[in-house]
Amino acid sequence: MPQLKLVPPLFHAFPYRKWSPVLRTLCDEYRGNSPSPHIYLGDFLDDDTARTIAREFPDRAAPGWTYYKHQNENKLGMTQRSMFPGTLGKVVDELNSPDFVAWLSDLTGISNLIADPALDGGGLHQASHGGFLNLHTDFTAHHYQSNWRRRVNLIVYLTPNWQEEWGGALEFWESKSKTRSARYPPLFNHAVIFNTDDRSLHGFPDPLTCPENISRNSLALYYYTVEDKPKLVTRATDYHARPNDSKSKAALIWLDKHAVSIYSRIKKKFGFSDELVSRVLKFVSSK
């Protein structure tokens, strides 16, 4: 008698059965939010999977972290998919899969979205006590795919039991009126999805006050559309001061964003990674 082959179930971290039936309602909410289309969703991933990848999330001592420590941000990033632990890597693959990207296109109303397997600027992010990210609009084009236009961000928060009083809420600001229009705390297994256009001014500019042994952990994925190169206007990350920031702080933010812009152009032209700059910033930070 032939033996039955056991086929393992398909891996699904994203609960389509939960989110697909309410997609039309989510679309209306997404497009109606200001200053640019966005949405904040709780219990985004399957709960057991979310808890597994939170446990797997690499700590600060793990190899592979890039140090983003300068005037406009203080955080760590890891983009090498090969260094992600088992389930965490599977979740990244699923959120870059054709099925999920199609769901995301339906949510945002942006046709022909594509995922970025290189995770340029995305992947794992970690900010510890004192970490911050100044208000900014995102870079507009992939550093290594010159005709890829950045369109949508997905951020999933992965720190269990995060306390709102520690800060770290993602803020959206109106760029013209210089007022905050939305604020979303980085609660466990909550996600923010938003368009990355000129109106999407966002960040968590106040330094975190979490305990030293806890970090604001997140998974970030960016999605693109392929554009005709002559029509694609490229811009580096564009940082902004807040109205209550001092003149000296505003000046440093302005100077640093121009330094980042120069670095971004050099990176794009010569195709090198952030690893060398990361080592320099890590050394300076340690001193």
- Residue pLDDT, tens place only, 115-137: 999 999 899 999 999 999 999 99
The residues, any chain, with a CB within 8 Å of residue 192's CB and separated by 6 or more, are 38, 39, 40, 41, 153, 154, 155, 170, 184
Q: What angle do CA 235, 197, 13 make, to 5 degrees?
A: 110
Angle, helices 47-56 vs 86-95, to 10°: value is 120
Residue-averaged pLDDT of the chain: 88
Q: Delineate the domains of the chain, giving CATH numbers in brackets.
A: 16-281 (2.60.120.620)
Structure tokens given for 161: 């039991």
CA atoms of 269 and 209, how far apart (whole Å): 38
Mean pLDDT in residue range 20-36: 96
pLDDT digits (tens, 9 = 90+) for 99-110: 999 999 999 999
- pLDDT tens digit sequence for 190-219: 999 999 988 999 999 999 999 999 999 999
What is the tens place of the pLDDT at every residue in 235-248?
A: 788 898 999 889 88
Coil, strand or helix at 63: coil
Rounded distance, CA 238 to CA 254, Å?
A: 9
**DSSP assignment string, 225-254:** EE--GGG------EE---TTS-HHHHHHHH
